[in-house]
A and B are shown apart, each in its own frame.
Chain A
C-alpha cells in the first residue's frame, strides 16, 4: 500500500510542478465558475425582491404604508391574502411575505409589546430577511415624516399618544409618569425646533429620509420573523450552478493529465523502470488511480472552499457532498485508465481525452445546463457521468439530497467507473503483450 501511495504522491508532485497542467486542473475550472456565475447572476442589473403584502389592519396608515412599499424600486409588491402569500413563498414564487397586523396604523408600527409587522421568509434567506427589515423600517419612517412633517399633525398625534392609556397598560405608575414626562419633553423640544426653523412645516427631503435609516428609533420598530420553508428547491445563486460544473472541469483536467502521464511514462521509459521494481502491474495502476483520486478530491475540495467562502455557495449536506465528490473521482479514475490506453502517443491520448471528455461534458450538462437542452438530448445525457456527477454534487450543495437520494447517482458513477477501469486494464495488457 505504501508503494502505491509513493507512486501517487510522485504523480501529484509532478502535477503541481507543471504550470500548464495546473492551469487546466484548477485555473480553467475556476474561470468557468466565475465567468458563467457572473454572467448568469445578472450583476449590474436591477435585482428586485418580490414580496407579498398582506394588509390585515385595513387602516388608512397601513394602506399608505403599502403604497410606500410599492414605490420602492428594490421591491416588487403583490398584495394578497395570508394563505396565498404563504403558499407563494413556500413555492418559491416570491422571496417573502409581509403581514401588516391589526393595530399597525393606530400605533404607526411603534411602541408595541407585540410586533405589528411580520415577515414570512425561508430561514436560509437570512440576508434577504435582514435587508427587508431595513426596507420596512425605512418605509415606515419615511411615511411618518411625510405625515407628521406638519406641526399641527404632530401636536395632534402627541396629544393622542398622551391620552392613549393603553400604551402604558401594565407599567408601574412611576414608569407611566416618567413616560408621559418624556413625551412632554419631546413635544416641547420639537416645538422649539420648529420655531427655530421659522416654519410650522418640516420638509421631507432625501437627506431627512436617509437620516431615518440610521435612526436609533429602529429598536422601537419591532418586526416578527416567521419561518416559511420553501418547498421548491433551487440554487440560491448562479454560482451554485457553476461551481459543480467547475468541479467537473477540474476532474476532466486531472483525468487528462493522468491519462497522458501513463503514456509519458511509457515513452520516457520510467514505466519500464517501475515495472522492473518489485511492484506489480496492479500496484502501478493503483498508484495512478490513487493519484487521480487524491488530485480530484483535493481540487474539488479547493473549488468548494473558494465557492463557499468567496461566492456564498451553500453546502446543504456535507456528507452527501463528500460521497458525491468521492464517487465522481472514482468514476474519473476509471475513465483515466481507459483513455490512457487508447493511443500509443501522448498526442493520441491527449486528443482522445479531450474528445471523450468534451462529449461527456456536452451531453451531460457540463457546458450548458441540461434544462436548456432538447428532450432527446437530455435522454442521451443519462449516459454521461458528467450528468450524474453534477447531480450528485448539487445534491450536497443545494438540492438537499439525503444519503439515500444520493445513492442512485453515485451508484451509476461507480458503475461507469468500473466498466471503464476494466476496459483500461484490458487495453493495457494488450499493449504490453504487443
Chain B
C-alpha cells in the first residue's frame, strides 16, 4: 500500500531525514515512534507529497507521485497542528473540506454524519470550533481526515496535549479504523500508544530508522531480559546460591525464565513481601538503542 524507499530531506544544514525506508501493507497500523525532532513529521509530509524528498521515493498503491489528485483522494491526513477553522462550526469545517474533495450533496451528508459520529461531536455540530475543548478539536481534526473516506490515513501525533479521557476516545477511534481495514500511519513519542495501537513500529531518531518490527520483535531483540523484582523482609546472608543482585532490600533478577528463578527464590526460603516481573517495553528498547529516553 505504502512504500517508502531511502528518503532523504535536509533543511539548510540540518539533515531531517537520512535514508528512511519501509513498506506498509494494506490494513496495517504502522507506528513511527521517536522523540521530538526525530524526523517523524518530515517523513509524513514527504509521504503525502507536501515536501519533496531530496532523494528517495514514496509510492502509494504503486504510484510514485502522491500529489496526483487521484492519490490525494486516497489519503487522509490529520496534521499535528489543529488544521481547523476556529470561527466555523464542526459541521461547516467538515462540509468545506468535503466539498474540496468533490463529494456530492448526498455523499457529503452521509460522510459528515459519519465523521461527526466518529468524533462524537454530533450534538455539538452547530457550535464553533473555537468553543471546543482540546480533545474535541483533536477528534474533529482526525474526523476531517476521514471526510472523503480514504483507505490510507496518516495521524501525526494526534494525542498531543489532551486529557486521558479524550486520548482513550482517540485510541478507540483508531481501533475502529483498523477494524474497517484501513491503513493507518501513526506517529507518536508515547511508547504506550505505539504498543497499544500499532501492528508494527519503526523507531526513529535523528532522521534514521533504528529498529523496525512488531512490538514483541523489538522488545525481544532490543529490550533485553525481563526483570524479576522481589522486595524482601530480610536481606539474605549468602547471595552465592541466589540469582540476581541486591539494591537495598530489593532483589533484582534479569532473566529469560522468570518462573524458574522464582522457584529458586522459594527454595532458598526467602520471605518475599512484594513481587513483580517487568517485561521490557519500547521505552527500554529506545533507551538501549540510543542511550536516551524517549522524552529526554
Contact B69–A276 (Cβ < 8 Å): no
Determine the residue in chain B with the shortest Cβ distance to A434: B11
* Segment among A6-14, A164-172, A220-228 that sits at the interface with chain B: A6-14
The A interface, classified by DSSP as helix, strand, loop or mixed, is helix
Q: How large is the interface on B (under 10, 10 to 19, 20 to 34, 35 or more residues)?
A: 20 to 34
In the complex, which of the residues B49, B84, B100 contacts A279, with contact meaning CB atoms closer than 8 Å?
Answer: B100
In the complex, which of the residues B73, B79, B83 contacts A278, with contact meaning CB atoms closer than 8 Å?
Answer: B73
How distant is A6 from chain B, measured CB to nearest CB, in Å?
A: 5
Contact A3–B79 (Cβ < 8 Å): no
- Chain A residues whose CB sits within 8 angstroms of the CB of B88 once the complex forms: 10, 13-14, 17
Contact B82–A269 (Cβ < 8 Å): yes
Interface string of A269-290 (1 = CB under 8 A from B): 1101111111100000000000
- Chain B residues whose CB sits within 8 angstroms of the CB of A13 once the complex forms: 87-88, 92
- In the complex, which residues 116-132 of chain B have their Cβ closer than 8 Å to any Cβ of chain A? none
Query: Does any Cβ of A come within 8 Å of B72's Cβ?
Result: yes
Determine the residue in chain B with the shortest Cβ distance to A281: B67
Q: Tell me the bound Cα distance from A272 to B49 in angstroms.
A: 11
A-B contact pairs, 20 of them (CB 8 A): A3-B100, A3-B102, A13-B87, A13-B88, A13-B92, A14-B88, A17-B88, A269-B80, A269-B81, A269-B83, A270-B83, A272-B83, A273-B83, A274-B100, A276-B48, A276-B77, A277-B72, A277-B101, A278-B73, A434-B11
Query: Does any Cβ of A come within 8 Å of B221's Cβ?
Result: no
Contact A278–B50 (Cβ < 8 Å): no
- Chain A residues whose CB sits within 8 angstroms of the CB of B99 once the complex forms: 2-3, 6
- If A18-B87, A276-B50 touch, does A268 touch B72 (CB 8 Å cutoff)? no
- In the complex, which residues 68-115 of chain B have their Cβ closer than 8 Å to any Cβ of chain A? 69-70, 72-73, 75, 77, 79-88, 92, 96-97, 99-102
How distant is A268 from chain B, measured CB to nearest CB, in Å?
A: 6
Query: Does any Cβ of A come within 8 Å of B144's Cβ?
Result: yes
Contact A278–B69 (Cβ < 8 Å): yes
Contact B100–A277 (Cβ < 8 Å): yes
Q: Tell me the bound Cα distance from A18 to B85 in angstroms.
A: 12
- If A276-B50, A278-B72, A278-B73 touch, does A17 touch B83 (CB 8 Å cutoff)? no
Interface string of B242-285 (1 = CB under 8 A from A): 00000000000000000000000000000000000000000000
Determine the residue in chain A with the shortest Cβ distance to B45: A272
- In the complex, which residues 268-317 of chain A have their Cβ closer than 8 Å to any Cβ of chain B? 268-270, 272-279
How distant is A18 from chain B, measured CB to nearest CB, in Å?
A: 6
Q: Tell me the bound Cα distance from A112 to B85 in angstroms.
A: 76
Q: Which residues of B contact A (CB under 8 A)?
A: 11, 48-50, 69-70, 72-73, 75, 77, 79-88, 92, 96-97, 99-102, 144
Contact B96–A10 (Cβ < 8 Å): yes
Contact B82–A268 (Cβ < 8 Å): yes
Contact A268–B83 (Cβ < 8 Å): yes
| Most B C-beta atoms less than 10 A away, residue of A3, A269, A278 | A278
In the complex, which of the residues A14, A268, A278 contacts B100, with contact meaning CB atoms closer than 8 Å?
Answer: A278
- Chain B residues whose CB sits within 8 angstroms of the CB of A2 once the complex forms: 99
Q: Tell me the bound Cα distance from A270 to B88 in angstroms.
A: 12
In the complex, which of the residues B50, B81, B97 contacts A275, with contact meaning CB atoms closer than 8 Å?
Answer: B50
Q: Tell me the bound Cα distance from A2 to B92 in angstroms.
A: 17
How distant is A264 from chain B, measured CB to nearest CB, in Å?
A: 10
Contact A17–B87 (Cβ < 8 Å): yes
Determine the residue in chain B with the shortest Cβ distance to A272: B79
Q: Tell me the bound Cα distance from A278 to B81 in angstroms.
A: 20
Contact B79–A273 (Cβ < 8 Å): yes
Q: Tell me the bound Cα distance from A277 to B67 in angstroms.
A: 9
Q: A13-B92, A17-B87, A276-B50 are in contact. List 17 more A-B contacts (CB 8 A).
A: A3-B99, A3-B102, A7-B100, A10-B96, A13-B88, A14-B88, A17-B88, A268-B82, A268-B84, A270-B83, A272-B81, A273-B83, A276-B48, A276-B72, A276-B77, A277-B97, A278-B73
